[in-house]
Amino acid sequence: MSGRDEEKVNMQPMSVSAFRGLIIGSAAAPILALTLAFFGWGPVGPALSQPIATLTSWFFSQTGLTLP
Amino acid sequence: MTFQQTVPSYSTLILTLVVLSGFVVALAVHVYAVVIGLVRRPKDITPKQYRFEKTVDGRLRRHDPGWPIYVHRQWAADLHNQYAVAWGTYVQLWVRARKRFNNGAWILIFPVPVLTFASLCAVWPFMVALTIVFLSAFVAVYIVAAPLHWLLVLLMRIADDVWRASHGGTASCPDCYALMPRPAYQHAGCSMVHRDMRPSAEGAIVRVCSCGTGLPATGTAASWLLNPLCQHCGAPLHKGAGAIRDVRISVVGEVGSGKSMFTYASLTKLEAWSRSLGTAFSYADQHSKSAANVARISLKESGTIAKTGPALPRALTVQVGGVVSGALVHLFDSAGTRFHDVEAHDDMKYLGDSHGIVFMVDPFSLESVRAELKRQNRSELLREHPLKSRPEDLYGAVVSRMRAAGHRVRGQRLAVVIGKADLLAQAGIQLPTDSAQISAWLHDRGQHNMVVAAKREFAAVRYFAADLRARDRAATQFDPSAPIRWLMNSRRFVGEQARRTRPSVQQESQAEEVAA
pLDDT digits (tens, 9 = 90+) for B362-380: 888 888 888 888 888 777 7
Q: Could you tell me the pLDDT band of residue B345, with boundaries at 50, 70 and 90?
A: low
Closest CA to B49 of B35, B60, B39: B60
Give me the domain span that covers residue B318. Answer: 245-515
pLDDT tens profile B71-99: 998 999 999 999 999 999 999 999 998 88
How much is the pLDDT for B230?
95
Say if residues B350 and B315 touch (Cβ distance below 8 Å): yes
* Neighboring chain A residues of B134 at a CB cutoff of 8 Å: 23, 27
Give the residue from B7, B14, B44 with the most A CB atoms within 10 Å of its CB, the best one to mutate: B44
**Residue B3 maps to a domain:** no
Min distance A23 CA to chain B CA atoms (Å): 5
A43 contact B CB<8A: no
**Residue B458 maps to a domain:** yes
Closest by Cβ to B137, choosing from A1, A8, A23: A23
pTM of the model: 0.79
Q: Could you tell me the pLDDT band of residue A4, with boundaries at 50, 70 and 90?
A: low
Judge: A23–B212 Cβ closer than 8 Å, yes or no: no
Q: Looking at the predicted structure, is the pLDDT value of residue B396 above 70? A: yes
pLDDT tens profile B247-269: 999 998 888 888 888 898 899 88
Query: Which residue among B144, B165, B186 closes a domain?
Result: B165
A24 contact B CB<8A: yes
Residue type, B357: I
Closest CA to B355 of B480, B489, B481, B466: B489
Lowest average pLDDT, out of B139-143, B230-234, B366-370, goes to B366-370
Select the highest-mean-pLDDT range: A8-17, B32-41, B322-331: B32-41
Same domain, B80 and B205: no
Judge: B40–A2 Cβ closer than 8 Å, yes or no: yes
Q: Looking at the predicted structure, is the pLDDT value of residue B322 above 90? A: no
User: B358 or B403: whose pLDDT is higher?
Assistant: B358
Query: Which residue among B188, B203, B229 closes a domain?
Result: B229
* Neighboring chain B residues of A3 at a CB cutoff of 8 Å: 40-41
Query: Which residue among B229, B253, B278 closes a domain?
Result: B229
Same domain, B290 and B212: no
Same domain, B159 and B180: no
Q: Looking at the predicted structure, is the pLDDT value of residue B296 above 80? A: yes
**Residue B238 maps to a domain:** no
**Residue B56 maps to a domain:** yes
**Residue B234 maps to a domain:** no
Same domain, B133 and B195: no
**Residue B151 maps to a domain:** yes
Residue type, B446: G
Q: Looking at the predicted structure, is the pLDDT value of residue A28 above 50? A: yes
What average pLDDT does the segment B283-295 reach? Answer: 90
Say if residues B241 and B228 touch (Cβ distance below 8 Å): yes
Closest by Cβ to A12, choosing from B15, B34, B44: B44
Q: Supply the mean pLDDT for chain B.
A: 84
Find the helix packing angle between B3-34 and A14-38, rounded to 10°.
170
Min distance B133 CA to chain A CA atoms (Å): 6
How much is the pLDDT for B510?
54
How much is the pLDDT for B331?
92
What average pLDDT does the segment B355-365 reach? Answer: 89
β-sheet bridge partners, residue B184: B229
Dihedral sign of CA atoms B313, B316, B317, B320 in order: negative
Angstrom distance (rounded) from CA B305 to CA B309: 12
* Neighboring chain B residues of A62 at a CB cutoff of 8 Å: none
Q: Could you tell me the pLDDT band of residue A66, with boundaries at 50, 70 and 90?
A: low
pLDDT > 70: what percent of chain A?
A: 74
Dihedral sign of CA atoms B79, B80, B84, B85 in order: negative
Same domain, B266 and B406: yes
Domain count, chain B: 3
Q: Could you tell me the pLDDT band of residue B461, with boundaries at 50, 70 and 90?
A: very high
β-sheet bridge partners, residue B200: B203
* Neighboring chain B residues of A27 at a CB cutoff of 8 Å: 34, 133-134, 136-137
How much is the pLDDT for A1?
44
Same domain, B151 and B181: no
Same domain, B186 and B107: no
Closest by Cβ to A68, choosing from B13, B39, B140: B13
**Residue B236 maps to a domain:** no
Same domain, B465 and B433: yes
Q: Residue ranges per domain, chain A?
A: 6-63
Q: Looking at the predicted structure, is the pLDDT value of residue B133 above 60? A: yes
Strand pairing category for B327-333 and B245-253: parallel
Min distance A44 CA to chain B CA atoms (Å): 17
Same domain, B116 and B60: yes
Same domain, B396 and B417: yes
Closest by Cβ to A11, choosing from B130, B138, B212: B212
User: B502 or B468: whose pLDDT is higher?
Assistant: B468
* Neighboring chain B residues of A68 at a CB cutoff of 8 Å: 6, 9-10, 12-13
Q: Could you tell me the pLDDT band of residue B475, with boundaries at 50, 70 and 90?
A: low
What average pLDDT does the segment B8-29 reach? Answer: 83
SS3 label, residue B176? coil
Q: Looking at the predicted structure, is the pLDDT value of residue B470 above 70? A: no
Interface pTM, i.e. ipTM: 0.77
Judge: B133–A31 Cβ closer than 8 Å, yes or no: yes
CATH code: domain of residue B495: 3.40.50.300
Same domain, B344 and B372: yes
